[in-house]
Amino acid sequence: MPRWKQIAERYLPWILRRGREERELDEEIQFHLQQEQSLRVERGEAATEARQAAHRDFGNVRRVKEVTRETWSWTTLESILRDGRYALRQLRRAPGFSAVAIATLALGIGANSAIFSVVDAVLLKPLPYPEAERLVSIHQALPQASYLNVSWPDFIDWRAQNRVFDDIAVFQPNSVKVRENGEPIMAPAAFVSASLFTVLGTKPSLGRLLSPEDDRPGAPPVVVVGNSFWRRALKGDPDLTGKTIEIAGYDVTVAGVLGPEFSLPQIEADVYLPIGRMMAGSESFTDRANHPGLMGVARLRSGVTLDRARADMNTIMSRLAQAYPASNRGESVKLALLPDVLLGAIRPELLMLFGAAALVLLLACANVAHLAMARASTRQREFAIRGSLGAGRRRLIRQLLTESTLLSLGGGVIGVLLAHWSIAPLVRLSPYQAPGLADAHVDSRVLLFTLLVSLVAALVFGCAPIVQAAYTRLNFALREGEMSRAGRRFRSVLFIAEVAIALVLATGAGLLLRSVSALLNVDPGFHAEHLTALGVVRNGGPADRNLQYFTDAVDRVAHQPGVLSAASVMCPPLSGTCWTSPYWADSQSVTGNGQRPWTALNMITPGYFSTIQTPLIAGRAFMDSDTAGTRPVAIVNKTMASRMTPSGSAVGKLLHVQWAAHELLEVVGVVPDVKQFGVGVPVMPEVYVPVAQMPVSFMTVVVRSTAASGAASQQAAAAIRSVDKEQPIKQVTALSETILNSAGRQRFAALLLSMFGFVALTLAAVGISGMMAYTVTRRTRELGIRIALGARRTEVLALVLRQGMLLVSFGVLAGLGLAWMLTKLVRNLLYGVQPHDIPTFAGATVLLAVCAVAACILPAWRAAHVDPIEALRHE
Amino acid sequence: MAAKESKPARIELLQGTLDMMILRTLQWGPQHGHGIGQAIRASSLDALQIEHGSLYPALHRLRKQGWIEAEWKITENKQRARYYRLTQRGRKQLSAEESRWNRMVEAIARVMKPASSS
């Protein structure tokens, strides 16, 4: 049976019956009145008197009908519809009120819906892995290094010995040369253990994934490709499996293609290569003390808790520490649930922004409540009439709530539209790299949320006129436009809350803006303007050829027009990662590996510090004469220099760096601290060595040019390619942008809080202005009398202003207290400013006070210019 | 003034007693709303001055409970009127309410006139 027919059969009799009942009740009552009338006429009363008496005897016909109808069980829906129609009529009769209310609510609801769609996409939607709550991220740690990647031999032992995981996997972010349309490009790659896809629960969309056999040394080379790479570079070839593609110059057979939803935790990759096959025999993998950039992930056996897994892994680690004290003494393993690792940092920030949006909505509700109360007080007469016509108190309350709900739903509809338009820019600006963030949009969940929020908002502001009415008897006792004392007090409380909320948001925005400016004013230790970084990877080849290549590339770039100087470095400033190594100064006693402090280790060409414009503090820069054949030298940063020799110069001292090419280095120079891991991250000790004495296969060419970076970087890239057109350039970044991005989280939060704060201040100002205008109108007569009795205009002005300012100062006090408590929530985002920063609190207060005074001026001016004759005639 | 004094004092109805009286009235046979009102007024010797309008919500409530049934009939004056009739369940309800009422009246009487019981 078609659906509409089902519905019709179910509801049609209901509707028909409903109409019949109504008609029959009319007829029944009509009959009663006629009967009574004719009875009285028979007794000798006059016809008209008899009719009146019959009506009097019967009581209020309308009310009788209403009460009778309520005994019919199906009136609820019907009366809701009737209330809705009536409410719509009422709202249409007050288009100004309705428009302002809907617009205000739309702002508040829209802000919440937009933030919710981001929160939903980032925090509430599950990660793209089945049973992600059983996934655990693994890394290692030493007392001096809280984060170490996983060591390969340890990983092998964990897999063999643990009793808590279904399986454990490792993966290593990497990049390999592939061809896209014949051109060589560097593709992000992941070297993964064959167990990775089993652990993550991944299914291929084409072919197969990796098997343990693929992962053995000597196995035929295979690759799994990501979905976007398959579509982009391989033209979405449906018969790809079994064919070969060129990877790093070799022909590799494609085993399978991943689905479009797959992504690795924390890193991006286009191709996935079996790590054991390629690396298992290499020195960096067989050395148990080495942690070669492997990230660990495991799947808990079902029913195993994280604590039990930790206990089991600790047992294994203590066994390993006994067996291999040189590498494993003091080493521990850190387990955390993967969802917490991926979302842990974002969660409090997003929830804080969500809370701020909720405050904006609360403020919007308070404003609409003001409006609704002012309107309700002008409708006393309407309510009184309806009441005397038999509308029960509950009906009137329902009527008011229906009107509120309609307004709120109107606001919700526009709010959803606002959210729809603002999600894309919001996501673009957001600094978060969370799975699912890119496809945040208004979906059914956002719609449902908006509906709920609208209904709650309707309840919140809809109660205001009801509370007011509760203090006001529904009769003619009050004149049109008057409000009871209790109603006024309630409005004052609302008003104080508004000022307080606006102040809290303004303070939060202020703190974050100060953090952003502090971050951007941090001295990064180098000069970022017109400085471009071009990442270059050279695959394979002997070390001296790599060195020659990078030297040539720097040379050619430096001779381009518009280039002031160029150099190359392994870890450019702010790149976030670098090699690290245990070190000890020659004078310090040698202790075990586990107890040694760690330093960052970086390789540079001679012109590096002059290119990034970091002046030497002491000693000399590297020179072309520092070669593989000469004495191993090092330049240290200021932090390292002061650790080596708290007083006196480090130049000329000897330093052991365990994993440098030459362990013993002579310090020849000291430079200021250059921010290596991010603008807001504290500097760690750093050792620079000449790349000639420790060649590497990937470096970043840094270029200082005279003009803006765009054209200069194009030229530089061309120059690098001219050395060897087979060498792809991985990434081109302007370092000034990197600095901007390293304040990304603060900028995002500051932007949103500023917007919210602006909306809040506007709403509060409108609220103040409206309330004062209302007060002045109410007191027109009194003010007229005062003026007639000789009060000066300035006195009247002060009178009105004083009343407004009294409320504002209560609001400010409440707001300061609230902000004092709430700003602790943003502590993690703050940089260079305390949560209780007095200048920020003072600034926000002054801003609010200025807005408040501005909002009071117009009504106060009107009050001062009341024409006494007009005012008295009015009454 | 004098006319008012001669009238018996009016008594406010107790909650729920109207329903009982309607059922009682219908015990004598089907009746329309106006007739029920007249009958209650007459049998109380005009002491119970019920507002006639209040009969109708009560009638509809009783009908929904299934204690009475309604039917459109033609009166002696050839007018269409809705007649209400006691159902079997309504009869049971009436006797239950009657015995409850009697117990209550006795109890109240004992409280109000303790001397007579001694």
For A70-79, the pLDDT digits (tens) are: 777 555 666 6
Count of CB contacts below 8 A, A vs B? 58
CB contact under 8 A, B33 and A28: yes
What's the rounded Cα separation, in Å, for the pair A22 and A30?
A: 12
Query: Which chain A positions have a beta carbon within 8 Å of B61's beta carbon?
Result: 71
User: Does B29 map to a domain?
Assistant: yes
- Total count of domains within chain B: 1
Does residue A207 share a domain with residue A158?
A: yes
Q: Is the pLDDT of residue A197 over 50?
A: yes
pLDDT at A666 over 60: yes
Query: Taking CA atoms, what residue in A is nearest to B56?
Result: A68
The last residue of a domain, from among A57, A73, A89: A73
Identity of the residue in B54, B56, B57 whose CB atom sits nearest the CB atom of A28: B56
Domain extent, residue B21, equals 15-113
CB contact under 8 A, B80 and A31: yes
**Cut 0.80: pTM above it:** no
CB–CB of A166/A136 below 8 Å? no
Q: Is residue A258 part of a domain?
A: yes
Indicate whether A561 and A698 sit together in one domain: yes
Co-location of A206 and A289 in the same domain: yes
Confidence of residue A756 (pLDDT cuts 50, 70, 90): very high
Residues on chain B bordering chain A, Cβ-to-Cβ distance under 8 angstroms: 32-34, 37-38, 51-54, 56-57, 60-61, 64, 72, 79-82
Query: Are residues A318 and A362 both part of a single domain?
Result: no
Q: Cβ contacts (< 8 Å) between A72 and chain B: which residues?
A: 60, 64
Q: Is residue A86 part of a domain?
A: no
Mean pLDDT of chain A: 85
- Together in a domain, A239 and A191: yes
pLDDT number for residue A501: 92
B82 and A60: CB-CB below 8 Å? no
Residue from A21, A71, A72 whose CB has the most chain B CBs within 10 Å, to mutate: A71
A337 within domain boundaries: no
- Domain membership of residue B4 (yes or no) is no
Please give the residue of chain B at the shortest CA–CA distance from A66.
B57
What average pLDDT does the segment A314-333 reach?
Answer: 91
For B50, name the nearest residue in chain A, comparing CA atoms only: A57
* Residues of chain A neighbouring B65 (CB-CB closer than 8 A): none
pLDDT higher at A273 or A278? A273
Q: Does one domain contain both A558 and A655?
A: yes
Picking from B18, B19, B34, B63 by the largest number of A CB atoms within 10 A of its own CB, the best residue to mutate is B34
Tokens of A235: 């033209």
Give the C-alpha separation, A821 to A830, whole Å. 15
Kindly state whether residue A123 falls inside one of the protein's structural domains: no
State the pLDDT at residue A2. Answer: 57
Q: Among residues 257-296 of chain A, which lie with CB inside 8 Å of chain B?
A: none
- Work out the pLDDT band at A475, boundaries 50, 70, 90: very low
- pLDDT tens profile B42-91: 887 777 767 788 888 888 888 888 899 988 888 888 888 899 999 999 99
CA–CA min distance B49, chain A (Å): 9
Is A68 near chain B, with CB under 8 Å? yes
Contacts of B60 in chain A (CB under 8 A): 68, 71-72
Mean pLDDT across A56-66: 84
Indicate the residue of B53, B61, B82 with minimum beta-carbon distance to A71.
B61
Give a yes or no: residue B3 inside a domain: no
* Residue A315 shares a structural domain with residue A358: no
Q: What percent of chain A has pLDDT over 70?
A: 90
Q: Is position B94 within any domain?
A: yes
Which among B53, B72, B80 has CB closest to A59?
B53
3-state SS, residue A565: strand
Of B37, B64, B81, the CB nearest to A31: B81
Looking at beta carbons, which residues of chain A come within 8 Å of B54? 59, 64
- DSSP 8-state assignment for residue A185: E
Q: Which of B52, B54, B79 to mutate to test the interface with A (most CBs of A within 10 A)?
A: B52
Residues A212-229: pLDDT tens digits? 999 998 899 999 999 988
Do residue A660 and residue A784 come from a single domain? no
**Of B54, B79, B82, which is closest to A59 when you measure between CB atoms?**
B54
Query: Is A511's pLDDT higher than 80?
Result: yes
pLDDT for residue A477: 42
Domain residues for the domain of A18 are: 3-73
pLDDT tens digits, A519-571: 888 889 999 888 998 888 776 566 677 888 889 999 999 988 888 999 999 98
Task: Give me the number of domains chain A comprises.
Answer: 4
Phi first, then psi: what are they for B71, rounded to 5°?
A: -155, 135
Q: Do B82 and A27 touch (CB under 8 A)?
A: yes
Contact A58 B53 (CB under 8 A): yes
Residue B72 lies in a domain: yes
Q: Do B57 and A24 touch (CB under 8 A)?
A: no
Q: Which residues of chain A have a CB within 8 Å of the CB of B57?
A: 64, 67-68, 70-71
Residue of B nearest to A25 (CA): B56
B56 contacts in A (CB within 8 Å)? 25, 28-29, 64, 68
Q: Contacts by A243-246 with C-beta closer than 8 Å and gap 24+? A: A245/A178, A245/A179, A246/A178, A246/A179
Tell me if chain B has a CB within 8 Å of the CB of A67.
yes
Helix axes A61-71, A47-58, angle to 10 degrees: 40
Checking if the pLDDT of A465 tops 50, the result is yes
Highest mean pLDDT, choosing among A1-15, A282-296, A606-620? A606-620
Q: Is residue A104 part of a domain?
A: no
Q: Please report whether residue A733 resides in a domain.
A: no
Q: How many angstroms separate the CA atoms of A87 and A460, rounded?
A: 18
Residue that the structure tokens 């809350």 belong to? A497
Select from B37, B38, B82 the Cβ nearest to the Cβ of A28. Answer: B82
Q: H or E segment at A710?
A: helix A709-723
What's the alpha-carbon Rg for chain A, to the nearest Å? 38
Residue count of chain A: 875
Q: How far is A24 from chain B (nearest CA, A)?
A: 8
A469 neighbors A382 (Cβ within 8 angstroms): no
Distance of alpha carbon A511 from alpha carbon A841, whole angstroms: 9
Residue A530 placed within a domain? no
- Contact check, Cβ <8 Å, B52/A60: no
Q: Under a CB-based contact definition with an 8 Å cutoff, are residues A116 and A354 in contact?
A: yes
Question: For A520, what's the count of Cα atoms within 13 Å in the CB-facing half-sphere?
Answer: 15
Q: Which of B32, B57, B81 sits opposite A68 (nearest CB)?
A: B57
Does A561 reside within a domain?
yes
Domain boundary among A40, A58, A73: A73
Establish if A60 touches chain B: CB-CB under 8 angstroms.
yes
Domain assignment present for B1: no
A157 and A280 within one domain: yes
A173 and A211 part of one domain: yes
- How far apart (Å, rounded) are the C-alpha atoms in residues A233 and A180? 5
Going by pLDDT thresholds of 50, 70 and 90, the confidence category of residue A595 is low
Residue in this structure with the two tokens 């406010």, named with its chain if needed:
B12
Q: Are residues A807 and A718 in the same domain?
A: no
* B53 with A60: Cβ contact below 8 A: yes
Nearest-by-Cβ selection for A64 from B38, B57, B79: B57
Token look-up 């400016």 returns: A517
Average pLDDT over residues A327-348: 87
Phi, psi of A257, deg, nearest 5: -125, 140
Query: Over the stretch A441-452, which tens digit does the pLDDT of each residue have?
Result: 888 999 999 999
**A23 contacts in chain B (CB < 8 Å):** none
Give exposure, B104-113, as e/b (b: 16+ Cβ within 10 Å). eeeeeeeeee
- Report CA A370 to chain centroid distance, whole Å: 32
**E-only strand ranges, A266-381:** 271-274, 295-300, 332-337
What is the tens place of the pLDDT at every residue in A156-190? 999 999 999 999 999 988 878 888 777 777 788 89
The verdict on a CB contact (< 8 Å) between B56 and A29 is yes
CA distance A15 to chain B (A): 18
Of the ranges A36-45, A239-248, A347-356, A472-481, which one carries the lowest mean pLDDT score?
A472-481
Q: B60-87: string of b/e by CB count within 10 Å (b at 16+)?
A: bbbbeeebbebeeeeeeeeeebbbbebb
Contact A32 B80 (CB under 8 A): no
Per-residue confidence band for A286, with pLDDT thresholds at 50, 70 and 90: confident
Instruction: Say whether A32 and B52 touch across the interface (CB within 8 A).
Output: yes
Q: What angle do CA A489, A493, A497 make, to 5 degrees?
A: 165
Does A706 lie in the same domain as A750?
Answer: no
Which H or E run contains B77? none
CA distance B114 to chain A (A): 39
Residue B8 included in any domain: no
Q: For residue A681, give both structure tokens.
A: 């991250």
Classify residue A124 by its DSSP letter.
Answer: I
Whether pLDDT at A387 is above 70: no
Chain A positions touching B80 (Cβ under 8 A) are 27, 31
B5 inside domain: no
The confidence score (pLDDT) of residue B11 equals 54
CATH number assigned to the domain comprising residue B98? 1.10.10.10
Which of A73, A107, A131 terminates a domain? The answer is A73
